[in-house]
Protein backbone atom coordinates (compact mmCIF):
# COMPACT_ATOMS: atom_id res chain seq x y z
CA UNK A 1 0.00 0.00 0.00
CA UNK A 2 1.40 3.38 -0.98
CA UNK A 3 0.83 6.54 1.00
CA UNK A 4 1.21 10.10 -0.15
CA UNK A 5 3.96 11.64 1.96
CA UNK A 6 3.79 14.92 0.05
CA UNK A 7 0.40 15.97 1.41
CA UNK A 8 0.10 19.68 2.02
CA UNK A 9 -0.36 20.55 5.69
CA UNK A 10 -3.61 22.26 6.62
CA UNK A 11 -2.98 25.91 7.41
CA UNK A 12 -4.96 27.75 10.05
CA UNK A 13 -6.70 30.90 8.87
CA UNK A 14 -5.09 34.12 10.09
CA UNK A 15 -7.56 36.44 11.86
CA UNK A 16 -6.79 40.12 12.47
CA UNK A 17 -8.54 43.37 13.37
CA UNK A 18 -7.62 46.98 12.68
CA UNK A 19 -8.83 50.56 12.75
CA UNK A 20 -9.43 52.10 9.32
CA UNK A 21 -7.58 55.41 9.46
CA UNK A 22 -7.82 56.50 5.83
CA UNK A 23 -10.17 55.95 2.94
CA UNK A 24 -10.97 52.35 2.12
CA UNK A 25 -9.00 50.84 -0.75
CA UNK A 26 -11.01 49.50 -3.68
CA UNK A 27 -10.23 45.91 -2.59
CA UNK A 28 -11.24 46.56 1.02
CA UNK A 29 -14.41 48.35 -0.08
CA UNK A 30 -15.37 45.39 -2.29
CA UNK A 31 -14.60 42.89 0.48
CA UNK A 32 -16.56 44.97 2.98
CA UNK A 33 -19.59 45.19 0.68
CA UNK A 34 -19.43 41.42 0.06
CA UNK A 35 -19.24 40.75 3.81
CA UNK A 36 -22.13 43.14 4.44
CA UNK A 37 -24.23 41.41 1.78
CA UNK A 38 -23.53 38.02 3.38
CA UNK A 39 -24.37 39.30 6.88
CA UNK A 40 -27.63 40.87 5.72
CA UNK A 41 -28.62 37.69 3.88
CA UNK A 42 -27.95 35.72 7.09
CA UNK A 43 -30.17 38.10 9.12
CA UNK A 44 -27.47 40.14 10.86
CA UNK A 45 -27.17 43.28 8.78
CA UNK A 46 -27.19 45.82 11.63
CA UNK A 47 -30.52 47.26 10.57
CA UNK A 48 -30.70 46.32 6.93
CA UNK A 49 -33.22 43.59 6.20
CA UNK A 50 -33.08 43.61 2.40
CA UNK A 51 -29.87 43.77 0.40
CA UNK A 52 -29.34 47.33 -0.81
CA UNK A 53 -27.92 48.08 -4.23
CA UNK A 54 -24.14 47.84 -4.36
CA UNK A 55 -23.68 51.57 -5.01
CA UNK A 56 -25.67 52.36 -1.85
CA UNK A 57 -23.45 50.05 0.21
CA UNK A 58 -20.30 51.56 -1.27
CA UNK A 59 -21.45 55.11 -0.51
CA UNK A 60 -22.48 54.05 3.01
CA UNK A 61 -19.03 52.62 3.86
CA UNK A 62 -17.18 55.48 2.17
CA UNK A 63 -19.28 57.89 4.22
CA UNK A 64 -18.61 56.14 7.52
CA UNK A 65 -14.88 56.78 7.28
CA UNK A 66 -15.45 60.51 6.64
CA UNK A 67 -17.57 61.18 9.75
CA UNK A 68 -15.34 62.73 12.43
CA UNK A 69 -17.29 61.21 15.34
CA UNK A 70 -17.13 57.65 13.95
CA UNK A 71 -14.32 55.15 13.87
CA UNK A 72 -14.54 52.15 11.58
CA UNK A 73 -12.87 48.91 12.64
CA UNK A 74 -12.54 45.92 10.33
CA UNK A 75 -11.97 42.26 10.93
CA UNK A 76 -9.95 40.26 8.42
CA UNK A 77 -9.52 36.58 7.77
CA UNK A 78 -6.43 35.83 5.72
CA UNK A 79 -6.29 39.52 4.79
CA UNK A 80 -9.86 39.67 3.47
CA UNK A 81 -12.26 42.07 5.20
CA UNK A 82 -15.00 39.94 6.71
CA UNK A 83 -16.63 42.15 9.34
CA UNK A 84 -16.78 45.51 11.06
CA UNK A 85 -17.68 47.51 14.10
CA UNK A 86 -18.16 51.23 14.52
CA UNK A 87 -17.42 53.35 17.55
CA UNK A 88 -19.49 56.53 17.71
CA UNK A 89 -18.44 59.36 19.98
CA UNK A 90 -20.79 62.21 20.90
CA UNK A 91 -20.49 65.47 18.93
CA UNK A 92 -18.22 68.16 20.38
CA UNK A 93 -21.17 70.15 21.75
CA UNK A 94 -22.20 67.23 23.99
CA UNK A 95 -19.52 67.74 26.63
CA UNK A 96 -21.62 66.08 29.36
CA UNK A 97 -21.49 62.74 27.55
CA UNK A 98 -18.02 63.05 26.04
CA UNK A 99 -16.79 60.24 28.30
CA UNK A 100 -19.13 57.72 26.64
CA UNK A 101 -19.32 56.17 23.18
CA UNK A 102 -21.55 53.73 21.38
CA UNK A 103 -20.69 50.56 19.52
CA UNK A 104 -22.83 49.82 16.50
CA UNK A 105 -22.73 47.65 13.41
CA UNK A 106 -20.57 44.86 14.79
CA UNK A 107 -20.86 41.86 12.49
CA UNK A 108 -18.81 39.05 10.99
CA UNK A 109 -19.76 37.52 7.64
CA UNK A 110 -21.12 33.97 8.01
CA UNK A 111 -18.19 32.42 6.14
CA UNK A 112 -15.70 33.87 8.67
CA UNK A 113 -17.52 32.99 11.89
CA UNK A 114 -16.06 30.59 14.43
CA UNK A 115 -12.57 32.13 14.34
CA UNK A 116 -12.94 34.34 17.43
CA UNK A 117 -13.12 37.50 15.33
CA UNK A 118 -16.18 38.99 17.04
CA UNK A 119 -14.49 38.91 20.44
CA UNK A 120 -11.19 40.09 19.02
CA UNK A 121 -12.93 42.97 17.26
CA UNK A 122 -14.89 43.95 20.36
CA UNK A 123 -11.76 43.86 22.54
CA UNK A 124 -9.85 46.01 20.05
CA UNK A 125 -12.66 48.58 19.86
CA UNK A 126 -12.71 48.77 23.67
CA UNK A 127 -8.91 49.21 23.92
CA UNK A 128 -8.95 51.92 21.26
CA UNK A 129 -11.87 53.67 22.95
CA UNK A 130 -10.08 53.65 26.30
CA UNK A 131 -6.96 55.19 24.69
CA UNK A 132 -9.24 57.89 23.22
CA UNK A 133 -10.55 58.81 26.68
CA UNK A 134 -13.79 56.85 26.55
CA UNK A 135 -14.83 55.49 29.93
CA UNK A 136 -18.21 53.91 29.13
CA UNK A 137 -19.48 52.06 26.07
CA UNK A 138 -23.18 51.78 25.31
CA UNK A 139 -24.87 49.57 22.75
CA UNK A 140 -28.20 48.19 21.70
CA UNK A 141 -29.08 45.00 19.86
CA UNK A 142 -32.12 43.10 18.64
CA UNK A 143 -33.14 40.46 21.18
CA UNK A 144 -33.28 37.96 18.30
CA UNK A 145 -29.52 38.30 17.67
CA UNK A 146 -28.57 35.45 20.01
CA UNK A 147 -24.88 35.32 19.10
CA UNK A 148 -24.46 39.08 19.57
CA UNK A 149 -26.29 39.03 22.91
CA UNK A 150 -24.07 36.15 24.09
CA UNK A 151 -20.94 38.00 22.92
CA UNK A 152 -21.78 41.21 24.76
CA UNK A 153 -22.88 39.50 27.94
CA UNK A 154 -19.78 37.27 28.02
CA UNK A 155 -17.64 40.41 27.54
CA UNK A 156 -19.08 42.00 30.68
CA UNK A 157 -21.76 44.27 29.22
CA UNK A 158 -24.58 44.92 31.67
CA UNK A 159 -28.16 44.90 30.40
CA UNK A 160 -29.95 48.04 31.52
CA UNK A 161 -33.22 47.84 29.67
CA UNK A 162 -35.48 46.51 26.98
CA UNK A 163 -37.61 48.14 24.33
CA UNK A 164 -40.66 46.05 23.38
CA UNK A 165 -40.97 47.59 19.89
CA UNK A 166 -37.34 48.01 18.89
CA UNK A 167 -37.37 46.65 15.33
CA UNK A 168 -39.74 45.44 12.65
CA UNK A 169 -38.24 42.53 10.73
CA UNK A 170 -40.47 41.31 7.92
CA UNK A 171 -43.61 42.25 9.83
CA UNK A 172 -42.47 40.79 13.14
CA UNK A 173 -41.88 43.21 16.02
CA UNK A 174 -38.60 42.40 17.82
CA UNK A 175 -37.56 43.51 21.31
CA UNK A 176 -34.38 45.53 21.73
CA UNK A 177 -31.82 45.13 24.50
CA UNK A 178 -29.69 47.97 25.87
CA UNK A 179 -26.27 47.45 27.44
CA UNK A 180 -23.36 49.39 28.89
CA UNK A 181 -19.84 48.58 30.05
CA UNK A 182 -17.47 50.70 32.08
CA UNK A 183 -14.06 50.27 30.46
CA UNK A 184 -12.15 52.82 32.53
CA UNK A 185 -11.17 51.18 35.82
CA UNK A 186 -11.07 54.57 37.57
CA UNK A 187 -14.85 55.00 37.13
CA UNK A 188 -16.88 53.67 40.03
CA UNK A 189 -20.60 53.70 40.60
pLDDT digits 0-9 by tens, 158-187: 999 999 999 999 899 999 999 999 999 998
Structural domain range at position 122: 21-182
Is 140 part of any domain? yes
Dihedral sign computed on CA atoms, order 68, 81, 106, 183: negative
The CATH number of the domain holding residue 165 is 3.40.630.30
Say whether 146 sits in a helix, a strand or coil. helix
Is 145 part of any domain? yes
Q: Which of 7-21, 22-36, 84-98, 146-160 has the lowest mean pLDDT?
A: 7-21
Is 2 part of any domain? no
23, 68, 112, 126 from 39: Cα distances, Å: 22, 26, 10, 23
Give the global pTM: 0.91
Total domains in the chain come to 1
Is 174 part of any domain? yes
Amino acid sequence: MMTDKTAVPTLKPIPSVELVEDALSINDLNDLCDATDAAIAAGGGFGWIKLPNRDILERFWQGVVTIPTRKLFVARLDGVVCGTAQLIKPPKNNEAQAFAAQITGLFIAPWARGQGLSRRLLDYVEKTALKDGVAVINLDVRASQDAAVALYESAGYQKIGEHPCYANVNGQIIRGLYYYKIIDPTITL
